[in-house]
Amino acid sequence: MARIEVEKIVKRYDGVDGAVSSRPALDTVSLDIADGETIAVVGSSGCGKSSLLKIVAGLEQPDEGVVRFDGEDVTAVRPQQRGVGMVFQDYALYPSMKGKGNLSYYFQVQGRTEEEARARAKETADRMGIGFEQLLDQATDTLSGGQQQRVAIARCIVREPRLFLMDEPICNLDAKLRESTRVEIRKLLRKFGISTLYVTHDQQEAVFMGDRIAVMRDGRIEQVGTFDEVYYSPANLFVATFIGSPPMAVLPGIASGGRLTVAGGAVWPAPVELPDGPVRLGVRPESWFTGRGDGALLQVSHIERIPTERAAFVHGQVEGVPVVVAAPLNQPDSAELRIMPDMDRVYVFSADDERPLHTPGPLDLF
């Protein structure tokens, strides 16, 4: 286990013609992982998640910046010497070997006795929990994707890594298996308490896996925080719309004299004192009231009913802006709906630079 510090990392790759790309893949990225903490790194394709992971692993060298493990500068240390366990989307197990062989191979390569290798594999299997030992007697190419991923994790754990690096470990699994495997991985991470960097493009997975979430865009980290921090106090409009599913609606508006006039002409009280001028009003699906006379007019496109949640999402547009409204499961079908935000739960952003002018802060659930 270790505390990991990534400080002001810059990484540029050579372009197709050999010229160094003008836009760095990582642009002054800093991140701290506390001992035993899981940080989920999330962002769209190409934002630099894998590059960050590879630099922490030592598989890529940064152009600038430092990586430290427990205060020690490891930037120039080779990957094999960093004590890092890596789990990727393609399981990279040795296919002809049984699970057991995959666990003990490392010790054999290191010239340890067969007895020790067997003992360490057994100990890890016990720690992995019920049913795991049976998997080890099967050839890995006969295991399901989820089972192979568990063996891949065990293969890392057996080496007692200081840090886990996971790059989209479950994205190749079908939806049902993804759900159960992510629960399993999360349990294992909590149980072993190994510091982990977990990369995913799926914000719901990031929220589920991470003690904290690092939201990336175009080679930069936009915000690092707990779910409550990134959801209720986002650093900017990008983070606000990236985290949350379905996403927040963003309506252009004008603040004036303590009131907000939004697209379609609805006038609502401003949630706080705002400078007069154009703003953007952010409203999450759960923060709309329906059927209010002073509301904006939602042109409904379709209703998505989710029986397990006893809820529905009404999808539509207000003056061309996509809006999703959480409603009861028995929400009647209609072509239009009057909607009004709970003004205590809205977000207001600067119209110029995405900065938050007001965020609602965490919900008081209890």
Ligand X SMILES: Nc1ncnc2c1ncn2[C@@H]1O[C@H](COP(=O)(O)OP(=O)(O)OP(=O)(O)O)[C@@H](O)[C@H]1O
Task: Report in angstroms how near the CB of residue 215 gets to ligand X at its nearest.
Answer: 12
Task: Report in angstroms how near the CB of residue 155 gets to ligand X at its nearest.
Answer: 23
Residue 48 or 62 having the CB closest to ligand X: 48
Task: Report in angstroms how near the CB of residue 21 gets to ligand X at its nearest.
Answer: 7
Q: What are phi and psi of 61, to 5 degrees?
A: -100, 135
Task: State which of positions 161-220 bind ligand X (CB under 6 A).
Answer: 201
Residue 48 or 234 having the CB closest to ligand X: 48
| Cβ count near 242 (within 10 Å) | 24
**For helices 175-192 and 114-128, what crossing angle results, to 10°?**
110
**What strand order describes the sheet that includes 311-318?**
288-290, 336-341, 296-306, 311-318, 321-328
Task: Report in angstroms how near the CB of residue 47 gets to ligand X at its nearest.
Answer: 4
Taking CB under 6 A as the criterion, the residue among 17, 19, 45, 137 binding ligand X is: 45
Residue 3 or 220 having the CB closest to ligand X: 220
Burial category of 134 from C-beta neighbours within 10 Å (exposed 0-12, middle 13-18, buried 19 and up): exposed
Options 43-51, 104-112, 128-136, 244-252: segment touching ligand X (CB under 6 A): 43-51
Instruction: For residue 17, give every residue at least 6 positions away whose Cβ sits within 8 Å of its Cβ, in sequence order, or none.
Output: none
Helix boundaries (H) for 129-226: 132-135, 145-157, 175-192, 203-209
Q: Is 25 in the site for ligand X (CB under 6 A)?
A: yes
Query: How many residues sit in the footprint of ligand X (CB under 6 A)?
Result: 11
Options 46-54, 119-127, 301-309, 322-330: segment touching ligand X (CB under 6 A): 46-54
Q: Is 131 left (phi over 0), alpha (psi -120 to 50) or beta?
A: left
C-beta contacts of 209-212 below 8 A and 24+ residues apart: 209/38, 209/40, 209/182, 209/185, 210/38, 210/39, 210/40, 211/37, 211/38, 211/39, 212/37, 212/38, 212/39, 212/40
Options 49-57, 170-178, 281-289, 350-358: segment touching ligand X (CB under 6 A): 49-57
Q: Is 22 in the site for ligand X (CB under 6 A)?
A: no
Task: State which of positions 327-366 bind ligand X (CB under 6 A).
Answer: none
Taking CB under 6 A as the criterion, the residue among 43, 253, 282, 341 binding ligand X is: 43
Q: What 3-state class would DSSP assign to 148? A: helix
Q: Is 49 in the site for ligand X (CB under 6 A)?
A: yes
Task: Report in angstroms how near the CB of residue 92 gets to ligand X at its nearest.
Answer: 16
| Cβ count near 51 (within 10 Å) | 22
| Total length of the chain | 366
Task: Report in angstroms how near the CB of residue 353 gets to ligand X at its nearest.
Answer: 24
Q: Which of 218, 238, 231, 245 is nearest to 350 (CA)?
A: 238
Pair of tokens at residue 8: 């002001």
Taking CB under 6 A as the criterion, the residue among 39, 40, 50, 324 binding ligand X is: 50
Task: Report in angstroms how near the CB of residue 150 gets to ligand X at its nearest.
Answer: 23
Task: Report in angstroms how near the CB of residue 264 gets to ligand X at its nearest.
Answer: 37
Task: Report in angstroms how near the CB of residue 25 gets to ligand X at its nearest.
Answer: 3
Residue 220 or 358 having the CB closest to ligand X: 220
Taking CB under 6 A as the criterion, the residue among 35, 46, 267, 363 binding ligand X is: 46
Pair of tokens at residue 112: 């340890």
**Contact status, residue 325 vs residue 191, Cβ threshold 8 Å:** no
Binding mask 95-134 for ligand X (x = CB under 6 A): ----------------------------------------
Residue 13 or 289 having the CB closest to ligand X: 13
Beta pairing class for 311-318 and 296-306: antiparallel
Residue 173 or 255 having the CB closest to ligand X: 173
Binding residues (CB under 6 A) for ligand X: these are 13, 25, 43, 45-51, 201
